[in-house]
Amino acid sequence: MNKVKQILGREWEIFPAGGATGEAFVASHDKEKLFLKRNSSPFLAVLSAEGIVPKLVWTKRLENGDVITAQKWLAGRELTPEEMNQERVAKLLHKIHSSGPLLCMLKRMGKTPLKPEGLLEIIEERLDEEIYSLPVVTASLQFLQQELNNIQTDLQVVCHCDVNHNNWLLGKNNQLYLIDWDEAMIGDPAIDLGMLLYWYIPEHQWEDWIRLYGIELTPHLLLRMKWYVVAHTLNSVQWHLDTGRPDEMNRWLRFLEKIL
């Protein structure tokens, strides 16, 4: 980050912000603090303008072609799992799914809608034989195949695709943000809704939470949510196998057994 230090000035301290990619940093000088990221998506500018992520301060392109973005450092904390049932979570997710500027920007970036049949094909090609032979995986694939024609919808919105509670940031100003947009895509809002409800909200509260979001919990939405959660879970099972995490893989397999 020497070139970034040249941009900011030698008096700035820069240190890693953590995370799996190693592309995020924190810069500090006196009482000023910035969150820096290398090669962040141009989508960030629209997210900032919409108030969905902390304010974008500047964007700089380095001589080597890398793009560095600086956001205002926000004093705050992650939401707890128990806080995911709050109305402000439902309202912010609805705002994201309803945003025309966000959808327009992803399209301009060349993103095309995720089709369930394409997702199913990717999953079937990716699963190892070791995974394929497990009864719960076989049952999951049968479910995805049987319901493929029943989950079709014309709804196409910007989906975050990782609505884990760690990505919801509550500022000291009491404003809620959703961060880490690297996996964003265009698709059925059931992708985000299913993950959030299955992971965090007791089933007897789903109808109330969806009403806070702004729609009704129909049988078709329930089926779509389940379909995408099963698909996502199969991907997670394979990913944890690939990365040598058998305990996590087994945890996701138990989750599959529970929801099928």
CATH number of the domain bearing residue 178 = 3.90.1200.10
Q: Are residues 166 and 44 in the same domain?
A: no
87 in Cβ contact with 211 (< 8 Å): no
Q: Are residue 132 and residue 161 in the same domain, yes or no?
A: yes
Whether 172 and 76 have beta carbons less than 8 Å apart is answered as yes
54 and 116 part of one domain: no
Model confidence pLDDT, tens digit, residues 94-135:
999 999 999 999 999 999 999 999 999 999 999 998 898 899
Is 143 a residue whose pLDDT tops 80? yes
Residues 194 and 226 in one domain: yes
Residue 28 scores a pLDDT above 90: no
pLDDT in tens, 247-257: 999 999 999 99
What is d(CA 47, CA 50) in angstroms, rounded to the nearest whole number? 5
Same domain, 50 and 113: no
Could you write out the three-class secondary structure of 102-161?
HHHHHHHCCCCCCCHHHHHHHHHHHCCHHHHCCHHHHHHHHHHHHCHHHCCCCCCEEECC
Between 9 and 91, name the one with better pLDDT.
Answer: 91
Domain final position from 20, 41, 73:
73
Residues sharing a CB contact under 8 Å with residue 21, sequence separation 6 or more, in sequence order:
182
Our answer to whether residue 128 is catalytic in this structure is no
CATH number of 63's domain: 3.30.200.20
Same domain assignment for residues 69 and 90: no
Find tokens 């809608």 and name the residue: 113
pLDDT on residue 21: 52
Q: What is the pLDDT of residues 53-68, one digit of tens each?
A: 988 888 887 777 778 8
Percent of the chain with pLDDT over 70: 95
CA-to-CA distance for 173 and 166, rounded, in angstroms? 18
Same domain assignment for residues 115 and 6:
no
pLDDT at 20: 52
82 and 69 fall within a common domain: no
Which of 66, 128, 154, 162 is an active site residue? 162
Domain count of the fold of the chain: 2
Q: Is residue 69 located within the same domain as residue 93? A: no
Which pTM does this prediction carry? 0.89
Per the CB < 8 A criterion, the answer to whether 20 and 80 are in contact is: no
CB 88, CB 61: distance < 8 Å? no
pLDDT of residue 22: 54
CA dihedral of residues 199, 202, 208, 213 (deg, nearest 10): -10
65 & 88 share domain:
no
User: Residue 208 is part of which domain span?
Assistant: 78-259
Burial class for 129, CB neighbours closer than 10 Å (0-12, 13-18, 19+): exposed
Alpha-carbon dihedral sign for residues 201, 203, 208, 211 = positive
Q: Are 102 and 145 a contacting pair, CB within 8 Å?
A: no
Q: 102 with 228, same domain?
A: yes
Dihedral angle of Cα 76, 79, 80, 85, to the nearest 10 degrees: 150
Last residue within a domain, chosen from 22, 48, 73: 73
Last residue of a domain, one of 54, 73, 92: 73
Q: Tokens representing 186?
A: 């265009």
Say if residue 190 is in the same domain as residue 242.
yes
pLDDT per residue as tens digits for the range 199-238: 999 999 999 999 999 999 999 999 999 999 999 999 999 9
